[in-house]
Structure 1
Amino acid sequence: MEPRAHHLIIGLFTILAFGAALIFSLWLAKSSADRDWAYYEIVFNQAVSGLSEGNPVLYSGVQIGDVLELKLDPENPGQVRVLVRVDQTIPIRKNTKAGLVLANITGSMNVQFSGGSPDQPTLEGSRDNPPVINAEPSAFNSILANSEQLLAKADQLLTSTNRLLSGDNIENLSAILQNTREATDALLSRREQLSAMLERFDSAGRRAEEAAIKVSQLSDGASELLQTDGRRVLESMDKTLDIIYTTMARIDQLILANQGAMDSGLQGMGELAPALRELRATLRNLNQFSRRLEEDPTGILFGTDTMKELSK
Structure 2
Amino acid sequence: MEPKAHHVIIGLFTLITVVAALFFALWLAKSSSDREWAYYEIVFDHAVSGLSKGNPVLYTGIEVGDVLDLQLDPDNPSHVRVFVRVEQSVPVRESTRAGLVLANITGSMSVQFSGGSKDSPILEGSRDDPALITAEPSALKSLLTNGDALLTKAERLLTNANNVFSEENTENLTAILNNTREASDSLLGNRDQLAALLQRMDDAGKRAAEAADKVSAVSHNANDLLQNEGKSVLISMSAAMQTVQKTVARLDDLTRDNEGALDSGLQGMGELAPALRELRSTLRNLNQFTRRLEEDPTGTIWGGPTIKEVSQ
**Counterpart AA for 2:106:** T
Residue 213 (structure 2) aligns with: 213
Contact 2:99 2:111 in 1 (8 A): yes
Contact 1:92 1:116 in 2 (8 A): no
Residue 272 (structure 1) aligns with: 272
Deviation at 1:170, TM superposition (A): 1.0
Indicate the SS of the match to 2:50. Answer: coil
CA shift digits 1:104-135 (9 cap, x unpaired): 333322223443757726434444x5443222
Q: Tell me, yes or no, if structure 1 residue 250 matches structure 2 residue 250.
A: yes
**Counterpart AA for 1:69:** D
Deviation at 1:143, TM superposition (A): 5.3
**Counterpart AA for 2:212:** A
Indicate the SS of the match to 2:228. Answer: helix
Residue 294 (structure 1) aligns with: none
CA RMSD of aligned residues (A): 3.4
Q: What pairs up with 1:82-101 in 2 under 5 angstroms?
A: 82-87=82-87, 93-101=93-101
Deviation at 1:150, TM superposition (A): 5.7
In 1, the alpha carbon distance for the partners of 2:79 and 2:26 equals 38
Deviation at 1:156, TM superposition (A): 3.9
Residue 296 (structure 2) aligns with: none
Deviation at 1:44, TM superposition (A): 0.8
- List alignment gaps of at least 5 residues for structure 2: 289-312
Count of residues in correspondence between the two structures: 287
Q: Tell me, yes or no, if structure 1 residue 138 matches structure 2 residue 138.
A: yes
Deviation at 1:60, TM superposition (A): 4.7
CA shift digits 1:194-251 (9 cap, x unpaired): 2222222222222222211111111111111111221111111112112222222333
Deviation at 1:182, TM superposition (A): 0.9
**Counterpart AA for 1:106:** T
Deviation at 1:186, TM superposition (A): 1.4
TM, length-normalised to structure 1: 0.76
Deviation at 1:189, TM superposition (A): 1.6
Q: What pairs up with 1:87-236 in 2 under 5 angstroms?
A: 87=87, 93-114=93-114, 115=116, 120=121, 122-127=123-128, 130-142=130-142, 144=144, 153-236=153-236
Determine what percentage of the aligned residue pairs are the same residue: 61
Indicate the SS of the match to 2:219. Answer: helix
CA shift digits 1:256-280 (9 cap, x unpaired): 4444443332222111222344567
In 2, the alpha carbon distance for the partners of 1:21 and 1:235 equals 120
Indicate the SS of the match to 1:81. Answer: strand
Deviation at 1:158, TM superposition (A): 2.9
In 1, the alpha carbon distance for the partners of 2:8 and 2:224 equals 126
Contact 1:71 1:81 in 2 (8 A): yes
Indicate the SS of the match to 2:78. Answer: coil
Indicate the SS of the match to 2:226. Answer: helix
Deviation at 1:73, TM superposition (A): 2.3
Residue 262 (structure 1) aligns with: 262
Indicate the SS of the match to 2:192. Answer: helix
Deviation at 1:171, TM superposition (A): 0.8
Contact 1:47 1:80 in 2 (8 A): yes
Q: What pairs up with 1:25-40 in 2 under 5 angstroms?
A: 25-32=25-32, 38-40=38-40
In 2, the alpha carbon distance for the partners of 1:97 and 1:135 equals 7
TM, length-normalised to structure 2: 0.76
Deviation at 1:165, TM superposition (A): 1.5
- List alignment gaps of at least 5 residues for structure 1: 290-312
